[in-house]
Amino acid sequence: MDAAVDTVTTADAELCVSDVSIPEQIVGRDDSQDSDGRLRLSYIVPPAYRQPMVNQAAWSTWYGSPKTVSEVADLLMRLRSPKLNNVRGLATFNVPRGRSVPPATIMLSFLGVASHRHIVAEVMGDDFDRIDLGSKLEFNLGQLLGNKARDQLRTMAQNSDATDLVGHIEKSFPITRSLLQAGAFFRELALPLLYLGALKDRLAESSPKLNQTDRFRVEMALSVLLNALPTPFSGVILGTCESILKVFPEQAAKEDRLIAKRGPMDPNVPLAEQMSESGFATLVQEVVTFHYSSNAGRKQPLPALLNAVEAAALALRPGENALAIVYKQFCDDFALPRWNALTESMLKHAGSMEVPFDHKALPRDLIGRAIEQPKGQTCEAVQLLRGLIQFNYIHMDVEAFTKRADKQLAKARELESQISTLGANLTASAMIKIASLAQAGSEEIMANRSWFKNEVESLSPLVRAWQRFYEEWDRLLRKGTPGANKQTAALAVVEKLHKQPAVHAVATPEVDALQAQVQTLKGLIEQKDIEINDMRVELYNLRLFKDNLALPVHRPEPLALNMDMMRRVAMRDSITPTDVLMFIESVSEGRVVVLDSAWKSAKEASAFQQSVRMLDVITSMVFPYYDSLMAGNPDATARAILGNAYSANESETVSSHRRLRAQREFEYQGEIHFFERHLKVGNGAGLEGMRIHFDIIDGKVVIAYTGPHLECSSSN
């Protein structure tokens, strides 16, 4: 096509569809009016979510149930702010007095209109993210793509290097490659683009068409994802991907007008080759502006500067020592203050428990060593630094340690206070009580020392992560051009050939053959060097995961499974959670796998008082429930066996919260699995609310955790 094209989309800042059926008195600040006085509202939800005949079913599908839609609608209507008068007016328009407003109508007015949604977000602040359209994106993508495929895409967006990410995105949208390589790459854009590519494939696989429920999900998911992207990306995708565009018939009309104006775009040709140089530069600047304006004021999981460096590295324009600047910013603003606070807190607690503090285990100078940017190794260096930063954001939690310490030491402090009170007025009976309290205090201090030792050991993966980071960074500094210092003996042949006396020039065919062979070998050596470098980076990342996930073996010895335990289980007499796991593993005929994390948590829950109930629930799960699933029955049918004791999923808040989700992730056969299925054994908080987290993987019941109710959104 003509290279003078300067635009790729007619879309506004959001994927909006106009409607002129609203009267003049309901006016929004971002909406327009026609000449006849009727308001033109900009909707950002698909047609099914606006049509009275099906919108209740559509909203219920997206939010999971009619009950959830009603709860969100009720919360929105209870918001009090003058800014919401027009929003509420649209929701209640034409509703007779005394009649309740349909929840779907409320959702459409508050969340489905572009200008209204902005007002609601402003009024609700941080709470808006819990009820917004995007809050249900991960859940619905799990239903459409499968949880495993969705999680793989999320992991790829978080952990893969920029080059690999662009490669994956290019497979779905080849036209975007030049845009991403021209400085418009930001990691926050990767996940929406990966999800859009997966949905594009899902639409291509649907034959002859999606059922109504999946269509509701696909339409809204596409709307949410396209609205999350800057207009150059959404415009390019809508302009070149027919399977996505046909989901939005109103938007198709806009594209027809644009194509008539500037001609069609080729989805397989880089965008830079289909536009004028100035037009393409403008698009890149639009993406950069969109990114920084949309993220202004938000707490970023990584320094914003790292995004810029990664984009520059992808475009082969690395800034001089830019990575060293990012590293110093991260150390000064986050890692070093937190590490100092953590070590000082642990030093203080070690003193209160009279435990020697091992400064070698937690060195004060671990963090903040000066580094230089490796020459010619920018992409690999970016990946190393990104991995270090992500690992620290997850594991360096000073506040969590302080809470654990306060809870652990509370009893000892209470005993100390009681002894102090009794000591103020010594009597014979007071001295007897003091002796008893002192004995209890001694036992508590010993338990606290054991706890403190475990806390110190739990930080060893963090220490090793920093040490290995420095080792890998030094390796990059020492490393020159791939192949430069490798296989010196073999490469010396080339030098010798060039230094041979001229009399040997008569053997031209033989010399040419040898030189060609040497050049081939040089190419192979360089390729092997590149592969080795990639493998080293992968090994480094795997070591980080291993350090994070490795658990000591807590499985009881086989001799522990004795007749006494079997008798106690049979008689329901003084059994513990560990007894239950040992029994169920021994009688399950190989269908049960108990992970080390489950043995560990069961051992720590030895004081649980409802082990008989635990035995009954887990037996029902391992036998009748499992048998029903293996017979081909859906989970909804099989779960009737377990009743209210079984939950197939965690809440969306837990699934999408990085720290809460991590508490439910465990390693099995070398892969990380999210164990969201769980059984409820008891009610209440802490140990009384015991949960058993499990999953069925490759025909095995894999039990990952048996212990107190894990932290969830309501306990934050």
318 in Cβ contact with 378 (< 8 Å): yes
pLDDT digits (tens, 9 = 90+) for 29-56: 344 444 444 445 578 888 889 888 888 9
pLDDT at 497 over 50: no
Residue 671 gets the label, from left (phi > 0), alpha (psi -120 to 50) or beta, of: beta
204 in Cβ contact with 160 (< 8 Å): no
Span 573-593, mean pLDDT?
84
Res 629: pLDDT: 86
Tell me the DSSP string of 539-584. Answer: HHHHHHHHHHH-----PPPGGGS-HHHHHHHHHT-S--HHHHHHHH
Count CA within 13 A, CB hemisphere, residue 176: 32
pLDDT digits (tens, 9 = 90+) for 234-249: 888 887 888 887 777 7
Among 325-329, 545-549, 639-643, name the most confident range: 639-643
Q: Is 702 helix (H, G, I), strand (E, B) or coil?
A: strand
| Distance between CA atoms of residues 628 and 632, nearest Å | 7
Count CA within 13 A, CB hemisphere, residue 449: 12
Res 9: pLDDT: 54
Res 10: pLDDT: 44
Res 692: pLDDT: 95
- Report residue 72's pLDDT band, with 50, 70 and 90 as the boundaries: very high
Residue 665: C-alpha distances to residues 156, 546, 596 (Å): 17, 13, 13
Span 482-488, mean pLDDT?
38
Span 578-585, mean pLDDT?
86
Res 484: pLDDT: 38
Cα-Cα end-to-end distance for the chain: 56
| Distance between CA atoms of residues 683 and 709, nearest Å | 9
| Distance between CA atoms of residues 528 and 326, nearest Å | 31
pLDDT digits (tens, 9 = 90+) for 542-553: 554 554 444 444
pLDDT at 371 over 70: yes
pLDDT at 696 over 90: yes
pLDDT at 507 over 60: no
Tell me the DSSP string of 114-171. Answer: HHHHHHHHHHHGGGGGGTSGGGGHHHHHHHHH-HHHHHHHHHHHHHS-HHHHHHHHHH
Res 505: pLDDT: 41
Which residue, 681, 526, 552, is CA-closest to 616?
Answer: 681
pLDDT at 126 over 90: no
Residue 699 gets the label, from left (phi > 0), alpha (psi -120 to 50) or beta, of: left
**39: which strand partners?**
22, 33
Q: In 357-397, where does DSSP find H-type helix?
A: 378-395
690 in Cβ contact with 681 (< 8 Å): yes
| Distance between CA atoms of residues 215 and 441, nearest Å | 63
Q: In 206-317, where does DSSP find H-type helix?
A: 212-227, 231-240, 242-245, 249-262, 277-294, 304-314
pLDDT at 292 over 80: no
**What whole-number percentage of the chain has pLDDT above 90?**
15
Span 364-373, mean pLDDT?
83
| pLDDT, the chain, mean | 76
pLDDT at 316 over 60: no
Res 490: pLDDT: 29
Res 684: pLDDT: 72
